[in-house]
Structures are given as structure tokens and as C-alpha cells.
Structure 1
Amino acid sequence: MAHDTPLIATIVVGLSLAFLFGTIAQRLRISPIVGYLLAGVAIGPFTPGFVADQGLANELAEIGIILLMFGVGLHFSMSELLAVRTIAVPGAIVQIASATVMGLVLAAGFGWSVGAGVVFGLALSVASTVVLLRALQERRLVKSDQGRIAVGWLIVEDLVMVLTLVILPAIAPLLGSQSSEAAAASAQPGGLALALAITLLKVVAFIAVMLLFGRKLIPAILHHIAHTGSRELFRLGVLTIALGVAFIAAKLFGVSFALGAFFAGMILSESPLSQQAANESLPLRDAFAVLFFVSVGMLFYPYIVVENPLRVLATVAIIILGKSLAAWLIVLAFGHGMRTALLIAASLAQIGEFSFILAGLGVTLKLLPVEGRELILAGALISIMLNPLLFLLVEKYNDKVAAAPDAAAGTNPPLATAKSRSEIAYVTPKTDHTVLIGFGRVGGIVGERLIAEGTPLFVMDDRDETAAALKSRGVDAVGANAVTDLASANIKAAKRLVVAIPDCFEAGQIVAQARVANPGLKIVARAHSDAEAKYLKDYGASDVVQGSRETAAAMIAALDADPAGSASGAT
């Protein structure tokens, strides 16, 4: 019997194609976001074949926006922003203003209204959080000075866009909106000022409620759930807080889902359980974020690249050249070096999720023509695809400067990019040594024992501070991800490999690479279950230590040591 299941079809086909195209994009060293957007194009109304339900896709996208903004709030760090406030705050504001003016001028050339130009320019001014953070993480720059400036800059951009999403509907009549709501507001005497005042009052009321009550209530609820010991309830509680606060914000205070979710995440970020909340909500956040990008891709009219190539080119030029040039000049004007300026410029030379949200709101308010949204989507696709190339050019420049004979005499401090690249390219000269992957709770104990014994040791840990601490003690160590940089360990010449990280999937990849590189290598790994132990064995581990079995064996040994069951500890 046939079933009409548009929701299931939209989710299944959308996620399946997103997985396929995202994997291809990753293989090509392009952000998977490009693949997700192309998946949306494939199931959209402008391409042949299956067409997903646009209405349902938009509903799913709303959940994606809520969870995306919740994640932004969870990772919002006032301390990080304050640390670079002297450059990030004025720099981001000036750069947003510059890009908005460029978009306004370009829109005027297209014959659009001032309101369309403002929305268009704002959409081109804000970089993608996902793309920027991933680019910095891949190059191990998040904790560098340049990375902190880029992240702080991004936080300011996000805050400005959150405020824009709240204020734009209220000032839409002033910008020439033709929507029915805008017309009704402008028709009444003082209607625009009244609408703006009411909107701001609602926002202030919501913020006050969140700060006065939410700051205590939300962490308390989560703390109570955590004490139940149920991971399932904890995960459900986190999602309920994210979706519930966003829904209440929209229904009771009339503010956007995005603002409500952002504040829910920001309040929760102050809790000691924030990291666990982020980890537990991550799978669902990722899934719905993918559906958000798919739904955005469904709106894209791909033929605009052929029909209006000059407009697409001009849009991309603002994103990659105009916006980056503005950021570059701003960073230099604030006294930072050329290499820092280039890194910030490359980081911001793309647009993403906030641009899509703003473009959708602009079309809904009848401020931005549909063509404007299509140009923004085209600009996003092309800029995200080209962003790795920009980083590569910056890295080549840094390598050239670092290799110059007079590099040490330059006025710029050493760039973290060059340091990171040389660290990753480093290969330990040790032979017949033990390689230890991970220096955490388990790896740290193993490592300290090996260090005490004087065993030739090389340590890889993905935390730079851990590697730095080991180096200060004279231990050969590198801060890198062993999945991608195992070559640093000189595995071919190693005698033993200890994989002490808890992630079984990553451990399997490391074991497999090591076994291929050195078939005779002794490999010891850790597992949490029989299934994980078998998985690691299948990939080539010599021995797998399962935590639960070792704990049970130790408990049995303790019982066997006192067969009479004497109560030596009793009084």
C-alpha cells in the first residue's frame, strides 16, 4: 500500500544527498557546507528529478536555525571577546559598515531600493561561523593570537546580526518594505516609531527575564537532571531548553527564534555542565544544521550563474576582495602586522548561515528581491569553495617570509600559521621508540610511567598546551591530531604504539595507518566494549585493553586476596 510521506521523504533524501555531496566536498578539501547546499539544489524545484516539500523543508530549517543559534550561544565567550576587544569590536563594526556600503552601491547599480541594498550588503558582510572555525581548527590557529582576533571578530559579527534580525522587521517600513505588516504599521500615525519602540521593549523584557530568572533557572534544571544519572534525560533536557526558550521568546515576547535560542545557549554556557550540554546536543544540532543548509540550497536558482554572470561576479568580488580588503586595512590600521592582517582577511572572505537567514528574512519582508537571495547563495557557494585557496596563498606567503634571511629582523612577530605548519611537518628523529597517542587520564598515567623508566618516547596530543608542557620537561611531543598527522611519529622506525584516546573511531583510523606503515609494530589500544575491542583488533591492534574488563578483574583480584571475607575495615 502506497503511503504519502513527504516529511520522511524530505528528510531521507535530503540527508542522503547531503551525505553524498558532503563526502565528495570533503574529499576535494572543500567545506562540506558546499555539498549540503548542492544537495538542496538537487532536490529543489529548479532541477529535474525528485522535488522535496519546500514547506516542510522550511519548518525543518527553522529547527536548524534554533539549534545553530543555540550552539553559537553555547560557545559564546565574553572573556575571549574582551581579550581582543580593542581590535575585534571596532574592526568588525567598521568592516560590516564597509561591506554594507559596497552592497548598497552594487544594489543601486542593479536598480534595487535602498532597503534591498541594506539587506544585501549586511548579508555579504558576515562570515560563516562554521566555515571560519573549521578553517582555523584545521590549521591549529584557534588558540593563536591571530585565531583569537578572528574568533572575537566573528563574535561581534554574530551579535550584530542577532540584533539585526530583531530590529529589521520593526524598521522594514522605513526601508520601503511592501509587506502587509509594514504597510499596516506605516499607515498609522506614529506607527513606525511605535512598532520600533514595542519591538525594543519586548527584546529588553526578554533579556531581563533571561538574566533575572533564566540565569538561575536553566542551570538549576540542568543540574537537577544531571543528578538523575540519566544521559537520555540530560540530552532531552538540553534540547527542551533550546527549543522551549526559542518558542517562548517568539510567542510571548515576539522576538525571533534565533535570539531566543542564542540567549538560551549563552545562559547555559555559564554552567559547569555547558561542555557536556554541547556534546550531548551536537548530533542533533549537526543533523538539523545540515537540513537547514539543504533547505537553503532548495531555494537557489542555479541558472543565475549563466543568466547573470556579471552580477554573480560582482557579488563574489565584494565577498572575497572588497570585504577582505576592508578587514586587511582595518587590522593594519590598528598596528598589527601584515601576516596577521592577511590571516584575518582570508578568514572573513566567505559568507554562510547568517547571510542565508538574513536573506530569507529580507525576502519575507519584501525588502530584498528574490534575485538578491539567489546572488547571496551563489556568492556563498563560490566563496566557501575558494576559501581554502586563500588560506593556502596566505600560508605560502608566510613560508616565504619565514624563509627570508632577514625574517628575524622584521617588525612582525612570528605567525602561528608558519609555526603550526612546521610543527605538523616535524618528524621525530627517534628510532625503536614508543609512540603514545593521547596524554589524558589514561595516556597520562602510561606516559608518566614510560618517562620515569627512561623509555624513548614520542607523544602526540591534540591539545597544544599539553604538548607544550611535555616539551618543557624535555619530552619529544607535538600538538597535532594523529589521524591526519601520524607521519610526525616516524611510525616506520617505531617499536611500539600506544593509542590511549577514548574515541574508538579515531583510534581505528590511527591503528590502520600505523599497521600499514609498520606491519611488525606492537600496537596497544583501549576500548570501552567488546564491539570496540573487536573493531580495533580488526584494524590491526596487537592488544586491546577493555576498561570494564580490567576493572572487573581488579575487583575480583581484591576479593581473592581476602578469601575469608574478613572485615578488616570494620570497627
Structure 2
Amino acid sequence: MVEHSVVFSFFLIFTGAAVLASVALYTRQPLLVAYIVLGAALGPYGWALVSDTSLLADISHIGIIFLLFLLGLDMQPSHLLHMLKKATLVAIVSSLLFMATGYGVGRLFGFTQTEALIIGAALMFSSTIIGIKLLPTTVLHHRHTGELVVGLLLLQDVVAILVLLLLYSGPGGDTGVMDFVKAVAALPLLTLGAVIFVRYVLLRLLQTFDRFHEYIFLVAIGWCLGMAELALAVGLSAEMGAFVAGVTLATSPISLYIASSLKPLRDFFLVLFFFSIGASFNLSLIELILLPSLLLTALVLVIKPVAFRFLLQRISESNKLAWEIGFRLGQTSEFSLLIAYLATSMSLIGQEASHVIQATTILTFLLSSYLVIFNFPSPIAVSDRLRRD
């Protein structure tokens, strides 16, 4: 396999993405599809023109971190706390239902009990990046729909961290009970520390030097990535740290300028993220995993919207709103890919089970995106009537 420079890989990715995006727009397809297809074509299991996909995946993770930071900048803390309290029961019950579905399908196709449990765990979560990428930033984030979506995704993020800790504490892992205690205690302490730092240090610096736009840009990036790294250090996810960084700045008027200046940077890294998803999939295993992957995909696309619709109606949400949130969360998650990778590296599951999770994640990403952009407001909707930035 020929090794190419990072610059050449970037050339292939962004030039190819520009060409395929043009085709996608002319044929009224979502841009996410173009990026994933390009990754599959150029990656090591396609034409192998881009071989170092692990490096690209690491780089692209920055896009998710920025996405959560910008989301936090749009959320008022008082509204967020209210929504988290309201959505807790929905998140717990739905997660258990989705896990049972994945476990049942896994056992049906002859996977071991451990593999079936991990397949079920991978189905519990909805994609933060899909759910938020398809939310109009100037419309829904300040409305009830966006708050509910965000609340549910954050609660799922907490559950995902506990699942990852369980994987680490399994055979070959070295995580113990204290890590659970640390993770549970870390979030409120991290948030409190961030609030104090923003109030007495960060905002004063920004107000003193607000004439220098470059300085504001650099401080915002440093604050976002610094909180992401601090969250990782205390046992949380980088995404949660970035979100806390954004929320603690949300009450300041400077948050609007920061949000607008970071959007192009976010989109740059998100292209890499979707490319790396397509590039990491081993196309030679399709025949072995086709049936379980298709069945899981169909169940996710049907059961998740129905479950969220039923549960949200139980907490007095309207039928229309409940359906919309259900479809926006009707896919598996980037956490599913991480669970598959970790479980495989620790020999808890085999390659076949791992690729069932990966294939289901990719398929639900694609098909869920179609359902949303053709039926609900989003920044990349193909219809002018539904396009909201």
C-alpha cells in the first residue's frame, strides 16, 4: 500500500468532497452521503488512496468537539437544567428498550451472549453529530424542540460513558468501581470550576481585549479544547467538556460572535469525520454481516421514532413534536463505533460482530439523514421550504 502525505490526503478528501457534493446537490441528496461514500471509495478497503484513516479520525474528532462547544453557546443554563430533569426518564427507558432490541437480534443470529450485549449497548445511543448537525442553529436551538433533543443526547452521553467504563473494567481492562464514582462526581465539579473560571477570569480577559478579534478567536478555541482535555482527564468525554465550556459562556454577549466565527472551522473537521466513517469500513465482510445489519437498521429506524414518540407523549409533549424528535434521534451513534472498536481491541467481540455494529451505524446515519432532511427543517434540507440555517 502506497503511503501518501497528509497534504495529499487532504487534497483528495476536499477536492473529492467538492465534486461529490456538487453531484449530491444536483440530485437532491444529503451532503453527508457524499462524504461517507467518498471515504469508502478512497479508503483502504476501496481504492486505498487514503490509507492513514486513524490519523484522520483523530483529527476529525475535533469537529465533534467544536460542534458541542457551539451548541453549548446557544443554550441558556436555566433552560438546559429544566430540560435535563424532564428528559431523564425518557432517556433511561428508551436506552433499556433499544439495548433489549439489539441483544435479541444478536442472539437470533448466533452471536455469543457477550457479543449480543455489546450489540445491544451500541444501539442505545443516538448520534450527537447527526442530531445536532441537522438542527437549524438559528431556529430550533432557542425552542423547545432543540432543548429536548439536546437534553436527551446529553443524558445518553452520560450513559455512554458508563458503558465505556464497563468495557474498560471487563477482561483485560483495569478500571474499577472508583472510576464510576469519579465519573459521577466529575461533571458537577467540572461545571462549577468552569463557571468560576469564566466569571472571574475569562470574561474579564475578553471584555478587556474585545477589540482584538484574533485574540477572542484564540481564547475561544483554547477554552473549548482545554475543557475537552480536562473532561477526559477526570473520566468524562471530550464532548461533554466542550459542551460545558460553551454553556458557561452562553450568558455573555460575546458568545454570539464566537459562535459565528467558529462555524467554518467546525464544518472543516466534520467533513473529515464523515469521510473517516466511510473509510474505516471493511467492504469484504458485507456478505457475512448483511442480514443482521439490515435487520438492526430497519428496527432502529422504526423502533426509535415510535419509542421516543410514545415516551415523550407520556411527559405531555405534543404528538407532532414527539414524532419530530423521534425521527431526529432515529439512528445509532458515533459512540456505537467507539464501543465496537474498544470491544474488539479487548477481544470481547469478534470482527463479525464489530462490523455488524459499524454497518448498522453507517446505514442508520445515512437513512436517518434522508428522513430528516426530506421532512423537517434543517440546514442541509434539499427543499427551500425546509432549509433553515
**In the alignment, is residue 160 of structure 1 matched against residue 121 of structure 2?**
no
Match of 1:142?
A: 140
1:378 matches 2:351: no
Q: Does 1:317 find its partner at 2:298? A: yes
Matched residue, 2:32: 33
Query: How many angstroms apart in 2 are the aligned matches of 1:269 and 1:208?
Result: 19
SS in 2 for 1:244: helix
1:262 matched to 2:243:
yes
Q: For the residues of structure 2 that align with 1:239 and 1:336, how far apart are their CA atoms?
A: 37
* 1:308 aligned counterpart, secondary structure: helix
**C-alpha displacement at 1:65, in angstroms?**
3.8
Q: Which of the residues 225, 228, 239 maps onto 1:243?
A: 225
In the alignment, what sits opposite 2:99?
100
1:69-88 equivalences under 5 Å are 69-81=68-80, 88=87
Amino acid at match of 2:96: A
Which deviations, in whole Å up to 9, do the C-alpha atoms of 1:501-534 show, x marking residues without a partner?
Answer: xxxxx9xxxxxxxxxxxxxxxxxxxxxxxxxxxx
- Deviation, structure 1 residue 106: 1.5
- C-alpha change, 1:161 and 1:115, in structure 2 (3 Å) is farther
Structure 2 partner of 1:218: 198
* Inter-CA distance 106–264: structure 2 relative to 1 (3 Å threshold): same
Equivalent-residue separation in structure 2 for 1:76 and 1:376 (angstroms): 32
The Cα offsets for residues 13-61 of structure 1, whole Å up to 9 and x where unpaired, read as 2233333334433444443222222222122211124133133223313
Residue type of the alignment partner of 1:148? H
8 Å CA contact 2:135–2:141 kept in 1: the answer is: no
The residue number in structure 1 matching 2:332 is 351
Q: 1:365 to 1:207 in 2, by over 3 A?
A: farther
Gaps of 5+ in 2: none
- 8 Å CA contact 1:128–1:351 kept in 2: the answer is yes
TM-score by length of 1: 0.57
**Greater shift in the superposed pair: 264-273 or 75-84:** 75-84
CA, structure 1 residues 331+207, in 2 after alignment: closer, same or farther (shift >3 Å)?
closer
Quote how far apart the aligned CAs of 1:332 are: 4.3
Quote the Cα distance in structure 2 between the aligned partners of 1:198 and 1:88. 25
Distance 1:357 1:76 in 2: 27
Bigger RCO of structures 1 and 2 (CA < 8 A, at least 6 apart): 2
2:308 paired with 1:327: yes
Distance in 1 (CA, whole Å) between partners of 2:122 and 2:291 is 19
Q: Does the 8 Å contact 2:84/2:151 carry over to 1?
A: no
- Maintained 8 Å contact 2:75/2:141: no
Deviation of residue 323 (structure 1)? 1.8
Residue 215 (structure 2) aligns with: 233
User: For 1:215 and 1:81, how far apart are their aligned partners in 2?
Assistant: 15
The amino acid that maps onto 1:294 is F
Native 8 Å contact 2:70 2:246 kept in 1: yes
Partner of 1:117: 116
1:411: which partner in 2? none
Distance in structure 2 (CA, Å) of the matches to 1:204 and 1:74: 24
2:262 is aligned to 281
**1:171 maps onto 2:153 in alignment:** no
The structural deviation recorded for 1:97 is 1.8
Superposition deviation, residue 99 in structure 1? 0.9
Cα offset, 1:156, TM superposition: 3.2
**TM superposition shift of 1:211:** 0.9
* 1:381 CA drift (Å): 3.7
User: Which range moves more in the overlay, 328-337 or 157-166?
Assistant: 328-337
Do 2:289 and 2:352's aligned partners in 1 also have CA atoms closer than 8 Å? Answer: no
Residues 276 and 355 (structure 1), Cα distance of their counterparts in 2 relative to 1, 3 Å cut: farther
Query: Compared with structure 1, are the counterparts of its residues 338 and 369 closer, same or farther at alpha carbon in structure 2 (3 Å cutoff)?
Result: same
Q: Which residue of 1 aligns with 2:44?
A: 45
Structure 1 unaligned segments of length 5 or more: list them.
186-191, 396-416, 421-461, 463-480, 486-505, 507-571
Q: Percent identity, please.
A: 24
CA apart distance, 1:340: 4.0
AA aligned opposite 2:276: S
Q: Is the 8 A contact 1:92 1:153 kept in 2?
A: no
Distance apart, 1:255 and its partner CA: 4.1
TM (norm. structure 2) is 0.80
Which letter maps to 1:349? G
**Larger helix proportion of the pair:** 2
Query: What CA RMSD, in Å, does the superposition of the two structures yield over aligned residues?
Result: 3.7
Structure 1 or 2, whichever has the larger Rg, is 1
8 Å CA contact 1:91, 1:331 repeated in 2: yes
Q: Deviations over 1:525-546 (max 9, x none)?
A: xxxxxxxxxxxxxxxxxxxxxx
Q: Distance in 2 between matches of 1:357 and 1:31?
A: 24
**Contact 2:64–2:129 (8 Å) recurs in 1:** no
> Does the C-alpha gap of structure 1 residues 76 and 24 become closer, same or farther in structure 2, counting only changes over 3 Å?
farther
> How many corresponding residue pairs?
379
- CA distance in 2 between counterparts of 1:157 and 1:327 reads 10
- In structure 2, give the amino acid aligned to 1:142: L
Deviation per CA, 1:214-249, whole angstroms, max 9, x where unpaired? Answer: 213235325423532111111111111112222244
Seen in structure 2, the aligned counterparts of structure 1 residues 136 and 296 have a Cα distance that, compared at 3 Å, is closer
Q: Which has the higher strand share?
A: 1
Preserved CA contact (<8 Å) 2:32 2:366: no
- Structure 2 distance, partners of 1:113, 1:102, is 15
